[in-house]
Chains A and B, each alone.
Chain A
Amino acid sequence: MNIDQIDEGTPPPVIDPGPDKIIGPGHTYASVTNEITGVIFQPLKKTPKVWFKAFVVSFALMQLLLIAATWLFIKGVGIWGIVIPVAWGFAIVNFVWWIGIGHAGTLISAILLLLKQDWRTSINRFSEAMTLFAVACAGMFPVLHLGRPWLAYWLLPYPNSMWVWPQPRSPLVWDVFAVSTYATVSLLFWYTGLVPDLATLRDKAKTKWQQVVFGIFALGWRGSARHWSRYQMAYILLAGLATPLVVSVHTVVSFDFAVAIMPGWHTTIFPPYFVAGAIYSGFAMVLTLMIPVRRWFHLEDLMTMRHVEACAKVMLGTGLIVAYGYLMEAFMAWYSGDVYERFMYWNRMTGPYGWSYVMLIMCNIAIPQLLWIRKVRLNVFAVWMLSLVVNVGMWLERFVIVVTSLHRDYLPSSWGMYYPTKWDWATYIGTIGFFLTMMWLFVRFLPAISIFEVREVLHHEGGGHAHAPVPEPVPAGD
């Protein structure tokens, strides 16, 4: 029997049910499955043209990354704009930016699961994938920015003939453990969530090789109740582990700065402020990607306005926490009475990089306040533009933190200026290309929405199937 000829499986017309519902009307278990798997099983030629255009652009940008990285390995980090005193430039800014973006995925998957927020189900798979690719981009920078990248393995504690070991009191070494753990756990979480859906894809596969590939990665999953029980337990535990992990990873990243004694860096507000900032930029990236994807693949009745609005609200909330962070930095710089702290902040606002500070306040604090207005939150284009503004703003935040603190610190004779070169930009834009390429591939060839979780939501909302009258339990003894 052709599994697609099932009548109940015909998806209802795609209607966004508006900001109150998380799933469109008229769905059954089969129809949600068909809608989501339809994206994957449509013939290659029928893929929406806009996906091809986006893929070509991203792939071209990814080639830019390859060229930039190759030239870097040939010539060394001198091709970048780093100088004394600003010896840490775009590499660290981009590293923190990408890791921050990754955190929203884990938050949506793990933390919202623990808080039993049903609205996470349509976007969690998508954002977990975003996390994975963002962490992959982030992980490139610590290796690229080494003076001798072929010795990158020295960051790891391994027995060697020189009898040396990494220094575990350094946040840079903590970063190695934190980011590696985060990458591994994100991969595990994402893959574990995929297994039941890969089983669905295996069972609906149209060609032999599709069946084999999906079958291998589905590990033979058959939906046994015993397996589901253990699976649920493992999934909840992973969520419980991933939640403190998210907080700890970005805290450790903030320690890269906070543990140093630079004015503008050595402040205890950094860990919570960085974590909130990470969630802020992460949700912005989720919106930046989700809004086009739901339009291209007609998924508006599964990724509804409720999801868009919820993400917008989280953005607003974390944006306010970030604003508090800026306020505290400014206040503490003044309140400390320390001439270096006070100068650092004055220079940040009015010095040669003052333009970046103004743009930062505009992009991160001023403009996103528009999200207080409900009409703005429900306007998909406005939310998308605001998400781009926040992405830029969060990048500027890391730029301001790194460059303005480094370029004028304690000793005026050491002051200097930092000018990024075209290779800095090429590497950065190249990683954006890599990230987008991976995202578009994921969205086309794997279920971007967690099918079994949507079935669960459908079940809780009372839909799923026309209910046959439930029979009485048969008494024991025949």
Chain B
Amino acid sequence: MAEFADPEQLLHAARSAYAAGYRRMDAYAPMPVDGLAEAIGFRRNFVSPMVLAGGICGACGGFGLVYWISCIAYPFNVAGRPMNSWPAYIPITFECTVLIAALTAVVGMFAMNGLPLPYHPVFNVPGFARASTDRFFLCIEADDPKFDREGAKAFLYELSPIGVAEVEK
């Protein structure tokens, strides 16, 4: 794992590592950095389709609930309106859509990230506490096919980091 002081340095490092053939790596930053996820080879962000699915479920569920209440479970003649007075159901349907979509977004995003996860080996690296303040890290993982302890270390040193550390499991 290499430590940098700047997001640009980290971005260059990540791109170099990807160009050098490393695939199993991760980068750590105290803020989102444009292009960093792509630089380490992450392209499969499934949050949007998941939220869309959640929203559709919410819409169907919301409308279904209100339809069932008004037409099947407890039909009610209110000023001669039809039982299926769907314009009146739109506010509730909309709110349910947003609610389920939002829950899907948050819970789904954290689940896909594998969080909550209180322990992770990178926390043992001295100085990693600054990853949440002002330092940027690139970590090449041991299950990368190109991984070789000394070779990876040498490669990281070539990127002019502030320091290189080993992550114990």
Q: Looking at the complex, which one of A184, A464, A477 makes contact with B102 (CB distance below 8 Å)?
A: A184
| Nearest Cβ on chain A to B75's Cβ, whole angstroms | 10
Which chain A residues have a beta carbon within 8 Å of chain B's beta carbons? 1, 3, 6, 8-9, 28-30, 33, 157, 163-169, 171, 173-174, 177-178, 180-181, 184-185, 188-189, 191-192, 196, 199-200, 202-204, 215-216, 219-234, 237-238, 241-242, 244-245, 248, 251-252, 255, 452-453, 455-456, 459, 464-465, 467-468, 470-471, 473-478
A222 touches B131 (CB 8 A): yes
Given A1-B127, A248-B91, A233:B134 Cβ within 8 A:
no
Query: Does chain A have a CB within 8 A of B142?
Result: no
Neighbouring A residues of B103 by C-beta, 8 Å: 184, 188
Q: Looking at the complex, which one of A1, A221, A475 makes contact with B126 (CB distance below 8 Å)?
A: A1
Which chain B residues have a beta carbon within 8 Å of chain A's beta carbons? 5-9, 12, 14-16, 19-21, 26-33, 36-37, 39-40, 42, 45, 47-48, 51, 55, 62, 65-66, 69-70, 73-74, 76, 78, 81, 85, 88-89, 91-92, 94-96, 98-99, 101-103, 105-106, 108-110, 112-113, 115-120, 122-123, 126-127, 129-134, 151, 154-155, 158-160
Neighbouring B residues of A8 by C-beta, 8 Å: 134
A176 to B18, CA, bound (A): 52
| Nearest Cβ on chain B to A72's Cβ, whole angstroms | 29
A226 to B7, CA, bound (A): 15
A252 to B93, CA, bound (A): 12
| Nearest Cβ on chain A to B126's Cβ, whole angstroms | 7
B32 touches A478 (CB 8 A): no
A206 to B40, CA, bound (A): 34
A237 touches B105 (CB 8 A): yes
Given A165-B74, A452-B32, A252:B99 Cβ within 8 A:
no
In the complex, 12 of the A-B residue pairs with CB atoms within 8 angstroms, ordered by the A residue number, are A29-B31, A177-B62, A189-B102, A200-B132, A216-B118, A225-B40, A225-B42, A226-B26, A226-B40, A229-B36, A231-B32, A245-B98
Q: Which residue of B lies closest to A477 (CB)?
A: B20
Neighbouring B residues of A228 by C-beta, 8 Å: 29, 31-33, 36-37
Given A168-B88, A229-B42, A219:B110 Cβ within 8 A:
yes
Given A33-B134, A157-B69, A219:B116 Cβ within 8 A:
yes
B113 touches A226 (CB 8 A): yes
B134 touches A465 (CB 8 A): yes
A181 touches B74 (CB 8 A): no
A29 to B136, CA, bound (A): 11
Neighbouring A residues of B14 by C-beta, 8 Å: 225
A476 to B21, CA, bound (A): 7
Q: Looking at the complex, which one of B70, B92, B115 makes contact with A177 (CB distance below 8 Å)?
A: B92
B151 touches A173 (CB 8 A): no
Neighbouring A residues of B109 by C-beta, 8 Å: 192, 230-231, 233-234
Q: Which residue of B lies closest to A8 (CB)?
A: B134
A1-B127, A181-B96 are known; give 15 further A-B pairs, CB within 8 A: A33-B30, A173-B92, A188-B105, A196-B132, A203-B129, A225-B37, A228-B33, A241-B55, A248-B91, A452-B30, A456-B31, A464-B6, A468-B5, A468-B160, A476-B19
Select the residue from B106, B131, B133 with max chain A CB neighbours within 10 A. Answer: B133
B113 touches A225 (CB 8 A): no
Q: Looking at the complex, which one of B20, B122, B151 makes contact with A222 (CB distance below 8 Å)?
A: B122
Neighbouring A residues of B26 by C-beta, 8 Å: 224-226
A204 touches B30 (CB 8 A): no
Neighbouring A residues of B8 by C-beta, 8 Å: 467, 470
